[in-house]
Amino acid sequence: MSQNCSKCGLPLEICACKAIGKETTQQIKVFCTKKRFNKLVTIVEGLGEDAKETAKQLKHKLACGGSSKDGVVILQGAHKQKTVEYLQQLGYPREIIKVI
């Protein structure tokens, strides 16, 4: 017997809650800034509750370290353009991604 989604009640095989959630997410901001010792970091804001899983996938794809806390992902290094490309591959529409 298949499991049901806790949000919509549909079987997990046909549940579209995550895809719909990514499309209705608020504006996502991607920018670079300098932190301690003039090291560059890439910051992704606006992911909400998906930040932890998205951070894990971005760190794997970009081969860098980083962390996530309170809906903000911090990646070590300057990865603005590649981060935008990988966010699109993860299902986030380009219209909601803003590069600063």
Domains contained in the chain, CATH given: 25-99 (3.30.780.10)
For the chain, list residues with pLDDT below 70.
Answer: 1-2, 18-25
21/86 Cα distance (integer angstroms): 17
The 3-state DSSP class for residue 52 equals helix
Buried/exposed 18-38: b ≥16 CB within 10 Å, e otherwise: eeeebeebeebbbebeeeeee
Tell me what pLDDT residue 6 has: 75
| Predicted local distance difference test score (pLDDT) of residue 20 | 65
pLDDT of residue 48: 81
pLDDT at 22: 60
| Chain segment 59-82, per-residue pLDDT in tens | 999 999 999 998 899 999 999 999
**How many angstroms separate the first and last alpha carbons of the chain?**
47
Q: What is the pTM of this model?
A: 0.75
